[in-house]
Structure 1
Amino acid sequence: MIRVYRDSDASLAQVAKDFGISPSCLKRWVTIDDKKSARPSSAGRAPVESDALREANKRIRLLEQENEVLRRAAAYLSQANLPKMMYPLVRELAADGVPVAVTCRVLKIARQPYYRWLVNPVTDAELTAAYRANALFDAHRDDPEFGYRFLLDEARGAGEPMAERTAWRICSDLGWWSAFGKKRGRNGKKPGPPVHDDRCAVVDDQGRIRHEFTATGPNELWLADITEHWTGEGKLYVCAIKDVCSNRIVGYSIDSRMKSRLAVAALNDAVARRGKVAGCVLHTDRGSQFRSRKFVHALNRHDMVGSMGRVGAAGDNAAMESFFSLLQKNVLDRHPWATREELRIAIVRWIERTYHRRRRQAALGRLTPVEYELIMTPTATQAA
């Protein structure tokens, strides 16, 4: 909200009204932010011009070194035969005058393992693994029809004993399969089994499965899903949770990685906003984030009921897909986004200002989600 107020020409009262808070609250937040961002006044005499110039030159030299690290890393990673470690690049940059500390900080790697690798570049474990791979390769080259179990027998006969699981892992990583074996594709893993029953599915008179997303009151049925969008810094992921009764986004989370914590953060945000949610049904797809143990534990902790649709059936969560379609047209596809922070602010502003408080919906009687909840919620509940 502070970011929106500073970037727009609207008054403080108008921004507070758009986000549904009091002007005094927003003014207090702006004051606190000003105090945190204010620089302390310098005491004593001003620094000498030569000291400032020296610091500026030092900073310029550091930036040049960081740019050189990024440039060399991009060329290093674009090689056809990609190495498993970045340590050789660190050694090359150190020979060219770039400090190891700067390279490790830019590449986000620790220095201690690098120095250990510098003393002993090839460990005993890596050397043993290379000998085993060579023995398996020789056997596979001589008899391509052999599977990994027969290759293991040949490797043991050549003096390279190993476990069956080790032989399978080496053959799997390098693609050494029997010429008569089953074709193995690399198009991704199959979706896992559902951890919850589908509580929104109904069977019609013709025996077809369809979904009904209806609720007579708030906090009865929620829908959740995840979407993604590219920015100049990479992808940005949004997990949103919608209340079916009022179509209001009761919780959402925005992050640069699509992990289970993205879904858990959105759920915790929704529970913090809505309060008592015991017995509420949360319907999702079979994404790994919603099947994770952390997300299931969060549902159990809040006494909520999980629900999951089928695999590859977008209609099983169509009500949530419609919201993401609006988000795509109104925010994501408006223009290219340079940074994740810029897109994050735009998403938050559109949800809280436009979707919740300005966009009227025909399903709600031409009311906004906030207006619909204020009218349909009993006065006693609002006071509580």
Structure 2
Amino acid sequence: MRYDFIERHRSKWPLDVMCRVLQASRDGYYQWRKGVEGKRKQEDRELLAQINEIYQATERSYGAEWIAHDIRKGGRRVGKTRVRRLMKQNGMPVQCKNTWKCMATTNSSETYHPSSDLVQRAFHRTELDELWLSDYSELPAIGPKIYAVAIKDQASHRILGIHVSHDLHVGALFKAFHQAVIARRLKHRTLEVPIIFHSDQGGQYNSYAFKDELKKYGLVSSMGSSGDCYDNAPMESFWATMKTELMHHFPFRNVEHAAGAIYRWTHLFYNQRRRHTSIGGLSPVQFEADWYQRNRSVCCT
């Protein structure tokens, strides 16, 4: 207890004074401190092993805060400051903002009349298949431009479809959309209420072919105002998250490199494991499992 008091107050009082008042020896204090430091180093080694395991398992995507959260969930008390220190000391990049600048991908069509905005920035949803969001984004690449288009269920944050290619053609959107159709088994369902499909006013979303495809599966088109990123803010947030967490892959060498990294991150990590504070710290798949369980219980009572 005396040595612990001395350690905590070394910046306030001289060591000699505290040892004299507390009748403690300097040699005894240094011996005690050596033991404490040795124990601390051993704890750091054990903690670092846990940090590295989580860091690798999450595709090097989690920062100090979420890693500390996972460790605490396992029963060990630790703060994000200590985790961040160990990550920095051992060459693990701590989360920082993505600095890549890419061109806008919206190509507003003047040929077709844009759909009405059925969302009006009311993005908070609790029911699956109530609101789907979609957007294109340019990806950092060494050679020819590479783009991704994604479709997201706003309630669970699950990415239902995503496609990576060299162009902004509507064909890429169709491929992502058909992934979403399969994921939600829309070919075998009759929707009681149409799913709102919200996007910007890009020509791909405004094409007759794609709007007909939406109607075929019971979805209704919704579009934000032209050039206003806040009208599709959750998708902008998704792209920002992806580009931040995949920074160690940038720039992509080619479309195959981009597709491999993005598909792996999306389907194996983001959907399955990445926690979201807005849905109670659950992953999208966990949220949906809880939602289905909850709704089955309601149906059976």
Q: Say if 1:190 and 1:324 are closer, same or farther in 2 by CA, change over 3 A.
A: closer
Structure 1 residue 194: deviation in Å? 4.1
In structure 1, how many angstroms separate the alpha carbons of the residues matched to 2:218 and 2:289? 25
Q: Match of 1:327?
A: 242
Give the percent of matched residue pairs that are identical in Structure 1 and Structure 2: 30
Q: Match of 2:202, as an amino acid?
A: G
User: Secondary structure of 2:246's match?
Assistant: helix
Report 1:243-262 matches (<5 A): 243-262=153-172
Shift of 1:287: 0.5
Q: Is the 8 A contact 2:149 2:164 kept in 1?
A: yes
Alignment of 1:1-384 (within 5 A): 191-192=109-110, 194-201=113-120, 211-276=121-186, 278=191, 279-331=194-246, 334-378=249-293
* Cα distance in structure 2, aligned partners of 1:280 and 1:219: 6
Is the partner of 1:372 in helix, strand or coil?
Answer: helix
Matched residue count: 188
Q: Deviations over 1:144-203 (max 9, x none)?
A: xxxxxxxxxxxxxxxxxxxxxxxxxxxxxxxxxxxxxxxxxxxx98752543111001xx
Do the aligned partners of residues 195 and 363 (structure 1) sit closer, same or farther apart at CA in structure 2, a change above 3 Å counting?
same
What SS does the aligned partner of 1:377 have? helix
Deviation at 1:380, TM superposition (A): 7.3
2:80 maps to which residue? Answer: none
Q: What code does the residue aligned with 2:214 have?
A: L
Structure 2 residue runs without a partner (length 5+) = 1-56, 58-105
CA distance in 1, matches of 2:162, 2:258: 14
In the alignment, the residues of structure 2 paired with residue 288 and residue 245 of structure 1 have an alpha-carbon distance, to the nearest angstrom, of: 26
- Which has the larger displacement, 371-380 or 346-355? 371-380
Alpha-carbon contact 2:107-2:202 (below 8 Å) kept:
no
Q: Is the 8 A contact 2:272 2:285 kept in 1?
A: yes
Distance 1:350 1:315 in 2: 25
Contact 1:233/1:340 (CA < 8 Å) preserved in 2? no
RMSD over aligned Cα, in angstroms? 2.5
Counterpart Cα distance in 2 of 1:190 and 1:271: 25
Q: Distance in 1 between matches of 2:161 and 2:153?
A: 9
> Does the 8 Å CA contact 2:109/2:206 hold for their aligned counterparts?
no
Question: TM (normalized to structure 1)?
Answer: 0.46
Flag structure 1 segments of 5+ consecutive residues without an equivalent.
1-13, 15-187, 202-210
Residues 295 and 349 from structure 1, CA distance in 2 versus in 1: closer, same or farther, beyond 3 angstroms? Answer: same
- The CA distance in 1 between the partners of 2:208 and 2:255, in whole Å, is 28
Distance in 1 between residues matched to 2:296 and 2:235, nearest whole Å: 26
Which of 1 and 2 has higher RCO (CA within 8 Å, sep 6+)?
Answer: 2
Q: Deviations over 1:305-341 (max 9, x none)?
A: 1100001111000011100001111125643222210
Shift of 1:233: 3.8
Q: What's the offset of the Cα at 1:356? A: 1.2
Letter paired with 1:296: K
**Alignment partners' CA distance in 2, 1:310 and 1:189:** 13
Does structure 1 conserve the Cα–Cα contact (< 8 Å) formed by 2:150 and 2:176?
Answer: yes
User: Does the aligned pair in 1 maintain the 2:134–2:235 contact within 8 Å?
Assistant: yes
Tell me: CA distance 1:356–1:299, structure 2 relative to 1, closer, same or farther (3 Å). same
Q: Deviations over 1:16-35 (max 9, x none)?
A: xxxxxxxxxxxxxxxxxxxx
Q: Distance in 1 between matches of 2:182 and 2:107?
A: 35
